[in-house]
Structure formats: structure tokens, C-alpha cells
Structure 1
Amino acid sequence: MSITVSRKIETIEAIPLRIPFTAGGRSDTGAWGGKDLKTVDSLIVKVTTDQGLVGWGESFGFTVIPAVKVAIEKIIAPLCIGRDPSLIGKLMHELQVTLHIFGRSGAIMYGLSALDIALWDIAGKEAGQPVHQLLGGSDVDRLPCYASLIRYTDPELVTANVTRALSDGYRHIKLHEVKIDCVRSAREAAGDDVEMTLDVNCPWTVREALDRTNELHPYNLRWLEEPVWPPENYDGLARVRREGGIPIAAGENASTLMDFQHLLQAQAVDFVQPSPAKMGGITELRKVFALASAHNTTVMVHAFYDGPGLLASVHSSAALGGPSALVEWRYFDLEAQLYGDAIIPKRGAIAVPQGPGLGIEPDADVIRDYRMN
């Protein structure tokens, strides 16, 4: 006789954190905050089952955290309490259908993403396996990282922090600069053998982007990321890819599988960048890997996070990304790390957690000390 084990989601808690950081000098205005930002805000989600299992997720954060917290607590959580946490695909599909009228991007999708990551964490713990094994398995125990620098808009600070990243063992650097002299300084500091990418956060028209690619050619970029405004101008992005002569990356602002389908059908990118804490979590992320494979396009998961969103990226990249996978490491010096030293890259590579679920539990003291009221 078989025995069916009843499982239910008992509680869902959204926890905002604010952790001070430094980044090797004064920052300039960037997509993640105002000029000379001194703290980084994140939103983690704790899902507890009636059997006592706890899963952790993470939503896209920064200044949108108050809206996402309300969306999770007032809209998403009431639909999930009492549901079976093991039926991840079924539940996430139902939630997307139920909540589509409120928008297919922004706070609702960010909240669903955090929930999904937490449910995968629970699934792995229940199975006694790391998430990457649930995704098909991996024999990779470390993944190379690229140091994702903040925007400095100061060539001397760019030089200093590229040099600092190289001394920490990174051989891949991402800039967030928009001025050519800063890119020039970075390449001069890095030399010719270091792979360098440039994320400009959607500032230009198609014509402006094409003009800039001409100026950027000498600096041998592995990719130019999100050069066109608005980010959903996939035809314009495709033109920059065809005519600009620099590989194009985009996707962190795409919110649904259909967005990625349109992006890939437009032949707009060489590298597609789903962001698991924004676009539906691990459930949707693995679909993007399959879709990208069908379009002969490389996935480089966007992971500008330090919590469960980063771990979701690491597990997915290990299982689905293949030998070209790189992990984005937010090159901040945080006052406290949610996972202590366990996830910090060593010599430019990050360990793939081998414990059940996401593999590492957040530090309760860090949550207590840096929780926002």
C-alpha cells in the first residue's frame, strides 16, 4: 500500500534587507540607485511548509522593494497558503494566469520569481539533492565569474578597480560605463588577454548606439549589453547587432518566456540574459535555456544579486549552461554577506553548492541585523 504524504505551504514571509557597501570609490548614478550609493537593498522570501521545511527565494530589489513586498504579502501569498509546494510548475502556471491582469512585469513577476526559487529550494531539500541535480545534473564544482563593477564615470577609478579585480583573480570584467574614456582606461589596465564586457543600461537610440559601436571597436568587447532604449525594441537591437560589429547581449529586462521568444526570433542578441529574480525564477529560466538552444544562442544568466537569486543562477548555469557559462559576481564590498564566505569567489571562480536545495542557508544573524522595518 502506498502512502501519500500531505504537504502544504504554511507561511510566506517577505524580508527586506539593507546592507552598507563600498566599491572601491565613489559611484556614479546607475540603474541600481542614486549617485554615491552607500547601501544595497534586497528582498528575500522565506517559505515554510507544514512539515517544517524552509525554502529561500529572492526578488529583484533596490527601490522597487516596497511594491514587491506588498505584492507578495497581499496578493501572492494568500493564493499559495495551503497549496502543495512540490507541484511547482502547476502552481506557478496558475499564479501567472490568475495574476496576468495586473501586469506581466514588475512587482507581481518579481514576487513570483522569489516564490519559485524558494519552492525549488524546498524541492531539493525534500529530495536530499542540490537544485542543479534536479535540473539534470552537473559534474562542475566551480564556475568562472566575471567581476561586475559599478559605474564610476571616472577613468582613474575605473583603472583602480579593474586592477583590483585582476589582483583578486578575475579574468573577466564587466563595466557599466557610458563614456569612452572610461572603457579605454579599463582596457589599458586589463591588457588584451582579459575578457571585457560593457553594460550601458539602455541609454541610446539605435542611431546613437551604432555611432557608439564605431567608437568602441578598438576595445575588443566580448559583448555590448542593452545599448538601445527602450529595452523591448528588439528590431532596433537586431539592427545594432547586424551593423555594429560588436556582439550584443540583452534580456535582464525581459519578464516572460514570450518576451524571450520575441527577442530570439528577432535575432537581436548573441547572448541572452534571463534574470531569475525578475522573470519567473528557475521554472521559467530552464525554459529560456531550451529556447535559446533552439535559436543557437548562448545563455549568460543575469545575477546582480548576493542571495538566493545568485544561487539560483549558479545551479542553473552549472546544470544547463555548458562549458561557456559565466556567473555574474556583483563586485561590491558588502559589510555583511548573507552566506558568509561560502559563496565568495576564490581566484575568480565560484563554488557550486553541493548541499540539498540551494545548498547554503542564509545567516540568521545577518537577517536580524540588517532587516529593514
Structure 2
Amino acid sequence: MKITGYRTLQTRHDWGRPVGDANGFIVSGITEVPLVVIETDEGVEGIGMGSHHDLDRIFPALEGKDPRSVSSLYDAMLARVFKTGHAGATFGGIGAFDMALWDLKAKAAGEPLWRLLGGADRFVTGYASGLDIALDDDRLAAFYTGMAERGFTSGKLKGGRDAEADVRRLRILADVLSVNTPHPALMLDANESWNLKQAVRYVTEVERAVDLTWIEEPLRRWDAAGHARLTSSVRAAVATGENLTGLEQFRPLFDAHAVDIAQAGAVWGITHFLRVALVAHSRDLPVSPVGLTANYAVTGAAAAVPNHLSAEIQDLGAPVGVTLDQHIADGGVVLGDEPGVGVSIDERLIAESRGADSWTTPEGPHVRSQRTGLHLVTDSTWQA
């Protein structure tokens, strides 16, 4: 089997609610979903999700190669962009190709990804995450009520602007999720919006009222020294890593004992997740994949690593024209048996769908405020 080409598609995901974080939000709740299809000389195709960025520059590393050599091809893609670097959106392009390669490998083996990678259990535990900073209290309660009905016992709130409001909203999560457990796990995600002292003061204030399981992305993603000081100053575990593009970027954080929960962004691909998970395991750290709506296949990889803690489940639906061989139940994901990564697409339906808003609009959560981390007072009127 040889790789002969690739094509791209773009569909959209309708979240049914505004989605975002401390850096901004998408009012429409409609976002684009890039898809990549790798073609082979045997007619078997692999489907990937991630980014369309730099695909033309990366593809020569794959052309004419056997797609089943996934690990070698992953390193070949990294080498292909050696001079300019693989960080940022380019890493997302590598991740999209990587998912498609794993899809081809699993299809060729006639197995679902989770079994190909050695998983024994098709169930992957998860936590509810509403990307909910723009939701009022009623809509917040409604979202987590729906997730509680699917068996979830833990939830993550987007916050970081107003500690009093975050405490009130975390208590809403606790109340709703308590139908399944007397002690729901509560997490708070600040999305890199604080400096170190702000983080210590803010988390300390929240912890006076709420038992936080973890605080997520409290500081800039590369701040190993700051994360190390923070984790020794608060009770909550410190979780970070979703925006680190490459295993080498985790090294300073691991060496500084700055991370309690290693997170890997699903958009960066399956091989990246597997490598982060194993390095974290070597340090007795749990791993948690973030944003499975950007790459549902990482769920299958999570089933196969020994230190998976919980996966971020942000929505119960799927993008237009995308069918998933999995379902949400009992507080997690139940994976299916179809060969491949468990994602199939209807290209006709995708072509007929119109309109998509982007995560990268100026109002959206991927544009960092120039004043982030530079406020003497944080409150609900703070504009990102």
C-alpha cells in the first residue's frame, strides 16, 4: 500500500450554545472543522482532523510511502519542516495527517484503533466541559444537567475573571452533578489568563469555598518555574500542556516538577498523545486529552495508555457529515468495533452544508487580550 495523494474538506460543528473561555467566545456557537483524507493506490483512504495549515509543505514526507509506517512517517513530517519549525498550526497539519495514517493502519489491520493500540476496554472515562464562559447560570445548569444524565460525575468550568462568580458557578456544577456522586470533581480553566501571584491569590480564594480537583492553564504554557511555584502553593492539582506543540516543550515542565496532570491537545494528533502519555507515565503522572471534538480518534488512543485519567467531553453531537463509531454513556465514551479510528464522513453532505464561524475570529478564544495578566482588579466586567 502506497500513499498517492490527499484532499481536504471543511465542515462545521454547531455547538448549540456560545463557546469560549477567558480570552473570548464564539457567539454563534458554530465553528469550522478541517478534515483531511489521505488517498492510497489500493483505494483505501484515511480520515484525519486537525488543521489544513502547511499540508502541501508536509505531504512530500508521506508521498509514495507505506501509510502503515506511522511512527517513522510522523518523524519524517517533523523533519520536513525542520528549519522553520513545527510549532503552532503546522503541528496541527502534522496531527491531521497523523490521524489519517492511524486510520489507514487500523483499517489495514481490520481492527478499531483502540484494539490495534492494545486497549482491553472500549470504555474511556471522561469529564463534562461546556466551554461555558458565555453561558448564564440557567444555561450553565442546563448543559451540565444534560451531561449528568449521561452519567458524568465531574465537570470543568471556564473562568478566571471573577472569583466570586466562579465559586457560584462551580457550586451549580456540584449541585447538578451530585445526582451521580456525593463528591463531584470540579475543575477550573483559566486559559493562561493570570500571572503567578494572581493565580496563587485567585485559586486560594476559590479553594476557601470549593474543593478544586485541578486548576488548568493558570499561567503561560512555557512557564515551568511559575507552574512549579504555583503547584506548591495551592491544594488543587495543576493541569497544563494542551497547547504545547511537541514533546520537547513538555521537558522543562516535567523537569521542574511543575505539572500534576499532563494534558495533550487532541488536535495535535495520536502519535503526539501517545508520546506525551508515555513520558508522563515514566514520571508517575496521569495524562488527560483535551478537546476531543478536534480529533475524536484520540479517544481510542486514551483507551490504550496505562495512565489515562479522564478525557474532555465538550459536546454530545458531531460535525455536519461526520459519523462517529462511539457513544457517550456512563460518564465517558463507549468505543465501537469498526476498523479504523471510528470516524466516517459523508462528503456530499459536507459539500452541501454552508456557513461556518471560526475559532480565530477577533472575538474568539484564540486571540489573547493584550491586557491579560496585567489587571490589578479582576471582575466580571473585565473585557478580554
TM-score by length of 2: 0.82
The alpha-carbon deviation at position 47 of structure 1 amounts to 0.6
Whole-Å separation in 1 of the counterparts to 2:223 and 2:73: 31
Whole-Å separation in 1 of the counterparts to 2:148 and 2:321: 22
Whole-Å separation in 2 of the counterparts to 1:241 and 1:100: 34
In structure 1, what is the equivalent of residue 47 of structure 2?
56
Q: Summarize deviations over 1:213-261 as a string: whole Å, max 9, x none.
A: 1112121111110001x21111101111111221110010111111122
Whole-Å separation in 2 of the counterparts to 1:318 and 1:298: 13
User: Is the contact between residue 153 and residue 184 of structure 2 (CA under 8 Å) also seen in structure 1?
Assistant: yes
Whole-Å separation in 2 of the counterparts to 1:328 and 1:271: 13
Moved more, 219-228 or 181-190: 181-190
User: Is the contact between residue 318 and residue 325 of structure 1 (CA under 8 Å) also seen in structure 2?
Assistant: no
Kindly indicate whether residue 75 of structure 2 is the aligned counterpart of residue 93 of structure 1.
yes
1:364–1:351 distance in 2 versus 1, CA, 3 Å: farther
User: Is the contact between residue 260 and residue 286 of structure 2 (CA under 8 Å) also seen in structure 1?
Assistant: yes
Whole-Å separation in 2 of the counterparts to 1:335 and 1:130: 21
SS in 1 for 2:345: coil
Equivalent residue for 1:302, pick from 277, 290, 293: 290
In structure 2, what is the equivalent of residue 317 of structure 1?
302
Structure 1: stretches of 5+ with no match in the other structure: 1-6, 60-67
SS in 1 for 2:258: coil
Kindly indicate whether residue 30 of structure 2 is the aligned counterpart of residue 46 of structure 1.
no
1:27–1:92 distance in 2 versus 1, CA, 3 Å: closer
User: Is the contact between residue 177 and residue 199 of structure 1 (CA under 8 Å) also seen in structure 2?
Assistant: yes
SS in 2 for 1:15: strand
In structure 2, what is the equivalent of residue 357 of structure 1?
340
Q: Summarize deviations over 1:96-140 as a string: whole Å, max 9, x none.
A: 1220222231121110111111101101111112222332x2221
Whole-Å separation in 1 of the counterparts to 2:277 and 2:355: 35
Q: Summarize deviations over 1:194-231 as a string: whole Å, max 9, x none.
A: 11211111000001000111112121111110001x21
User: Is the contact between residue 353 and residue 360 of structure 1 (CA under 8 Å) also seen in structure 2?
Assistant: no
Moved more, 87-96 or 159-168: 159-168
Whole-Å separation in 2 of the counterparts to 1:111 and 1:84: 19
Kindly indicate whether residue 132 of structure 2 is the aligned counterpart of residue 151 of structure 1.
yes
Q: Summarize the alignment of residues 106-121 of structure 1 with structure 2, pairs less than 5 Å apart.
A: 106-121=88-103
AA aligned to 1:302 is V
1:88–1:249 distance in 2 versus 1, CA, 3 Å: same
The alpha-carbon deviation at position 350 of structure 1 amounts to 1.3
Bigger helix share:
1
In structure 2, what is the equivalent of residue 65 of structure 1?
none
Equivalent residue for 1:141, pick from 104, 122, 125: 122
In structure 2, what is the equivalent of residue 243 of structure 1?
233
User: Is the contact between residue 103 and residue 340 of structure 2 (CA under 8 Å) also seen in structure 1?
Assistant: yes
Q: Summarize deviations over 1:250-300 as a string: whole Å, max 9, x none.
A: 01011111112222111111110112422xx22232221211111111001
Between Structure 1 and Structure 2, how many residues are aligned?
Answer: 346
AA aligned to 2:248 is M
The alpha-carbon deviation at position 188 of structure 1 amounts to 4.0
AA aligned to 1:208 is Q
User: Is the contact between residue 217 and residue 239 of structure 2 (CA under 8 Å) also seen in structure 1?
Assistant: yes
Equivalent residue for 1:201, pick from 187, 191, 215: 191
The alpha-carbon deviation at position 325 of structure 1 amounts to 3.2
Q: Summarize deviations over 1:173-211 as a string: whole Å, max 9, x none.
A: 111122321342332452352112111110000010001
In structure 1, what is the equivalent of residue 315 of structure 2?
331
In structure 2, what is the equivalent of residue 287 of structure 1?
275
1:349–1:22 distance in 2 versus 1, CA, 3 Å: same
1:347–1:132 distance in 2 versus 1, CA, 3 Å: closer
In structure 2, what is the equivalent of residue 15 of structure 1?
9
Over the matched positions of the two proteins, sequence identity in percent amounts to: 25
Whole-Å separation in 2 of the counterparts to 1:105 and 1:207: 28
Q: Summarize deviations over 1:49-92 as a string: whole Å, max 9, x none.
A: 11111111111xxxxxxxx42511x3122442222212222222
Moved more, 34-43 or 240-249: 34-43
Structure 2: stretches of 5+ with no match in the other structure: 176-181, 357-384
Whole-Å separation in 1 of the counterparts to 2:327 and 2:348: 18
The alpha-carbon deviation at position 160 of structure 1 amounts to 3.5
In structure 1, what is the equivalent of residue 378 of structure 2?
none
1:79–1:141 distance in 2 versus 1, CA, 3 Å: closer
Whole-Å separation in 2 of the counterparts to 1:13 and 1:143: 31
Whole-Å separation in 1 of the counterparts to 2:20 and 2:291: 21
Whole-Å separation in 1 of the counterparts to 2:29 and 2:130: 15
1:345–1:369 distance in 2 versus 1, CA, 3 Å: farther
In structure 2, what is the equivalent of residue 64 of structure 1?
none
Equivalent residue for 2:264, pick from 262, 268, 274: 274
In structure 1, what is the equivalent of residue 326 of structure 2?
343
Whole-Å separation in 1 of the counterparts to 2:340 and 2:316: 26
Kindly indicate whether residue 252 of structure 2 is the aligned counterpart of residue 262 of structure 1.
yes
User: Is the contact between residue 299 and residue 321 of structure 1 (CA under 8 Å) also seen in structure 2?
Assistant: no
TM-score by length of 1: 0.85
User: Is the contact between residue 156 and residue 185 of structure 1 (CA under 8 Å) also seen in structure 2?
Assistant: no
Equivalent residue for 2:54, pick from 63, 71, 76: 71
Whole-Å separation in 2 of the counterparts to 1:249 and 1:149: 17
Whole-Å separation in 1 of the counterparts to 2:82 and 2:275: 19
